[in-house]
Amino acid sequence: ARTAAVIPAAGRGVRLGPGAPKALRTLGGTPMLIHAVRAMADSRAVSLVVVVAPPEGAAEVRTLLDAHALPERTEFVVVPGGETRQESVKLGLDALPPGYDIVLVHDAARPLVPVDTVDAVVEAVRDGAPAVVPALPLADTVKQVEPAIAPGEPEPVVATPDRSLLRAVQTPQGFDRDTLVRAHETVTGDVTDDASMIERLGAAVVTVPGHEEAFKVTRPLDLVLAEAVLARRRL
């Protein structure tokens, strides 16, 4: 069973602040997207990477991929993305040729995921799980709140879920391709990850251990951490 990776990279990165689209911002001098592509292509299992580029940036992304040394055994395809992450992933899935039975979906915004995590996800899908997510326990206590009556007013806390049963999930998330395609064709409504669409289908989703370095670059402080992790790796 061949494995492809779809990398949604079409977001603007509003929370990171003004500048280039987030995936094109650099870490250690190299665009975040290239780090993410390399993280997928470094897995022996992955033979195709589909990059879902910012809608106006597909040509630029193609040029970037050609300009960086990437594993020769991997093929790279670039498609323009959509308005939402979900649409972007769907556009990436639409570009997959036949013959790839396993699909990883990996955020460009998680540039530093270690290859062992990627391999663990692929392995669990090969072992028969239709959907696999890397997951970590939470460090913070989590509260459920009610919306504030008005902006600036306090939010009433309504519950404290048992933290030992909560997980923060990362990417790459791994899927049986047919199940993921069916989820994208049938599930509607807002979702923040692909596995939740599989849950709505009623199919099984399982976890494998995530990794601290697979954190998502979302806010400016995350860039500081990412630069530090990269610098430590280069020692």
Binding site for Mg ion (CB under 5 A): 11
226 binds ligand CTP (CB under 6 A): no
Choose the contact partner of 84 out of ligand CTP, Mg ion, none; CB within 5 to 8 A by kind.
Answer: ligand CTP
**Which SS3 state, helix, strand or coil, does residue 102 take?**
strand
Amino acid letter for position 176:
D
Q: Dihedral of the CA atoms 126, 132, 137, 138 (nearest 10)? A: 160
**Residue pointed to by tokens 């979906």:** 105
Q: Minimum CB separation from ligand CTP for residue 168, in Å?
A: 14
CA dihedral 70, 75, 81, 84 (to 10 degrees): -80
- Output 35 or 85, the one with its CB closest to ligand CTP: 85
Residues 83-142 that bind ligand CTP (CB under 6 A): 83-85, 88, 107-109
Among 115, 126, 216, 229, binds ligand CTP (CB under 6 A): 216
Task: Out of 3, 11, 173, 223, point to the residue binding ligand CTP (CB under 6 A).
Answer: 11
Q: Whole-angstrom Cα distance, residue 213 to residue 32?
A: 14
Contacting ligand CTP (CB under 6 A), which of 13, 31, 134, 174?
13
What's the rounded Cα separation, in Å, for the pair 50 and 93? 8
When asked if residue 174 is in the footprint of ligand CTP (CB under 6 A), the reply is no
Three-state secondary-structure class, residue 61: helix
- Residues in contact with ligand CTP by CB under 6 A are 8-15, 22-23, 52, 81-85, 88, 107-109, 216, 218
